């Protein structure tokens, strides 16, 4: 089975269980979500628990089962195609790819904002300097992308190092928070029941999104050794570590800072700076920021490399330009898909900044990412339902639909609600229309080749 699949895709099986566990950690853990959760207040702890129970566990169960039934390259695109047909498979793959085009700027912006703390307190103003943040974001994006052009034998080390660095950064902040809490008390009173307002409601979808990413390893099924066995095992090993990381990390930041002082862009580095000042450790903040930067590069590498396999698989089926299904003659990588992804994402980084302040632009990117990301999960849970699962898909599908709807709620400080909604909902609908046109063009191409 594996040999035939490898001949069909031409990709090399370079990923073992250890690589996949670290890949999942690098892909799923968004270290910036700790800052967002801390900014929302101690009530976010209960939201983490709810999201883990109602979305993360159901998605892990669904992905584990579907990857055993359909272990080929393409992941959720293949699962949906086999369950509901070519058009629905295309929608799932198209939306998943689009979500990543929005996600990369989101991740790079947050990574740069946190990373500038490594330069020292006199340079932290760069985190709000639009020109610097945009330029540095592009450097991070293309560094991660180019590492994957040379194949997973090399590219996998980007996410391996990133996964280890992310967990090391979390471990540092958790240890610092625990020490400060024990010796000085927590800066924030811990109350696990959230205060419900529109910002908290909107944040629920971000909490659920923070648990997304396990499907990314399965997308690379054609490059995983023994995917039927290793994908489910890696999902549960990494999943346990991810849940502990999010909850303990949020508590640690709240022990160091009050929610009002936590920036959603650079809050973790702010917490590190606070720990450094209170404990008199001048090396702590730069070390933390350096680990954060490595973690962000690793996460970008995981998502850039993994998501490029979706248009590659769709290109093989000729629903997107066949060039996307080409492999590099020397390195055996989907280089056209990678470069097209990088070019498109660069355009989004530049265009989505127009007319918004930096943090509102960040929020717009987050909401567009969540909407397009969760559409494929509707198909994932419905596919799992068709394969016999019941409770998990019902819970996961409910959270997924709620997350899509709640992402349409604008932040309280947006300058123009209507213009924000036009950009958000109108942009998503326009991109779905473009996808439909691309699919119809692919059908015409297939018919012309059959004549």
Label residues 167-198 b or e (16+ Cβ within 10 Å = b). Answer: bbbbebbbebbeebbeeeebbbeeeeebeeee
Q: What is the pLDDT of residues 179-201, one digit of tens each?
A: 989 888 888 887 766 666 666 66
Q: What angle do CA 160, 161, 166 make, to 5 degrees?
A: 100
Nearest to 145 by CA among 130, 159, 166: 159
DSSP 332: -
Neighbouring-strand partners of residue 220: 73
Give 165-219 as a 3 state SS string: HHHHHHHHHHHHHHHHHHHHCCCCCCCCCCCCCHHHHHHHHHHHHHCCCHHHHHH
Q: How many CB atoms lie within 10 A of CB 394?
A: 13
pTM (predicted TM-score) = 0.80
With beta carbons less than 8 A apart as the criterion, state whether 138 and 404 touch.
no
Neighbouring-strand partners of residue 15: 224
With beta carbons less than 8 A apart as the criterion, state whether 431 and 348 touch.
no
DSSP 80: H
Q: What angle do CA 23, 28, 32 make, to 5 degrees?
A: 125
User: Under CATH, domain 2-446 is a member of which superfamily?
Assistant: Amino acid/polyamine transporter I (1.20.1740.10)
pLDDT of residue 379: 96
pLDDT of residue 277: 81
Q: How many CB atoms lie within 10 A of CB 398?
A: 14
Tokens for 344?
A: 């498109």
Nearest to 265 by CA among 177, 133, 136: 133
pLDDT of residue 382: 96
Nearest to 348 by CA among 338, 362, 334: 362
CA separation (Å) from 288 to 48, 78, 107, 167?
23, 39, 17, 11
Contacts 24+ apart (CB under 8 A), 356-359: 356/415, 358/109, 358/128, 358/130, 358/133, 358/265, 359/264, 359/265
Averages of pLDDT over each 10 residues, the chain, 451 residues? 43 77 83 86 86 89 87 85 94 90 78 71 74 85 86 76 86 90 85 65 77 80 76 83 91 91 78 81 80 85 84 88 88 90 82 56 69 92 94 93 82 74 82 92 84 65
| Helix axes 17-28 and 227-256, enclosed angle (nearest 10) | 40
pLDDT of residue 5: 42
Tokens for 81?
A: 């195609």
Contacts of 320 (CB under 8 A, 6+ apart): 311, 314, 438, 442
Biggest CA–CA distance in the chain, Å, is: 77
pLDDT of residue 6: 40
């Amino acid at each position: 089975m594996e040999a035939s699949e490898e001949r069909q895709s031409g990709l090399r099986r370079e990923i073992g269980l250890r690589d996949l566990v670290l890949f999942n950690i690098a892909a799923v853990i968004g270290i910036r979500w700790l800052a967002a959760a801390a900014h929302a207040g101690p009530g976010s702890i209960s939201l983490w628990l709810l999201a883990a129970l109602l979305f993360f566990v159901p998605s892990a169960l669904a992905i584990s089962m579907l990857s055993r039934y359909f272990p080929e390259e393409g992941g959720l695109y293949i699962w949906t195609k086999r369950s509901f047909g070519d058009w629905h498979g295309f929608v799932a793959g198209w939306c998943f790819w689009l979500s990543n085009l929005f996600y990369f700027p989101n991740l790079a912006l947050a990574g740069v904002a946190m990373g500038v703390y490594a330069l020292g307190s006199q340079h932290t103003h760069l985190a709000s300097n639009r020109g610097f943040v945009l330029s540095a974001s592009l450097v991070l994006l293309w560094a991660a992308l180019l590492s994957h052009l040379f194949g997973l034998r090399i590219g996998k080390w980007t996410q391996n190092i990133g996964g280890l660095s992310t967990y090391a950064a979390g471990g540092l902040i958790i240890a610092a928070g625990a020490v400060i809490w024990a010796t000085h008390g927590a800066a924030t009173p811990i109350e696990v029941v959230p205060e419900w307002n529109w910002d908290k409601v909107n944040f629920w979808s971000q909490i659920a999104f923070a648990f997304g990413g396990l499907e990314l390893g399965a997308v690379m099924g054609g490059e995983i050794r023994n995917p039927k066995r290793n994908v489910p095992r890696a999902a549960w090993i990494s999943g346990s570590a991810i849940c502990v990381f999010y909850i303990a990390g949020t508590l640690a930041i709240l022990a160091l800072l009050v929610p009002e002082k936590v920036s959603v862009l650079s809050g973790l580095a702010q917490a590190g700076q606070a720990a450094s000042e209170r404990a008199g450790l001048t090396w702590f903040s730069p070390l933390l920021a350096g680990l954060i930067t490595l973690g962000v590069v690793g996460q970008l590498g995981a998502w850039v490399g993994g998501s490029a396999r979706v248009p590659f698989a769709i290109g093989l089926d000729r629903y997107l330009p066949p060039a996307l299904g080409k492999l590099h003659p020397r390195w055996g990588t989907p280089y056209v898909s990678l470069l097209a992804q990088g070019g498109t994402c660069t355009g989004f980084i530049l265009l989505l900044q127009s007319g918004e302040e930096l943090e509102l632009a960040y929020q717009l990117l987050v909401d567009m990412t969540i909407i397009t990301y969760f559409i494929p999960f509707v198909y994932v849970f419905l596919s799992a339902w068709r394969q016999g699962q019941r409770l998990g898909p019902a819970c996961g599908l409910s959270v997924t639909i709620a997350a899509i709807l709640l992402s349409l709620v604008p932040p309280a400080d947006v300058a123009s609600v209507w213009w924000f909604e036009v950009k958000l909902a109108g942009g998503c609908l326009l991109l779905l229309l473009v996808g439909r046109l691309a699919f119809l063009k692919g059908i015409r191409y297939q018919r012309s080749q059959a004549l």
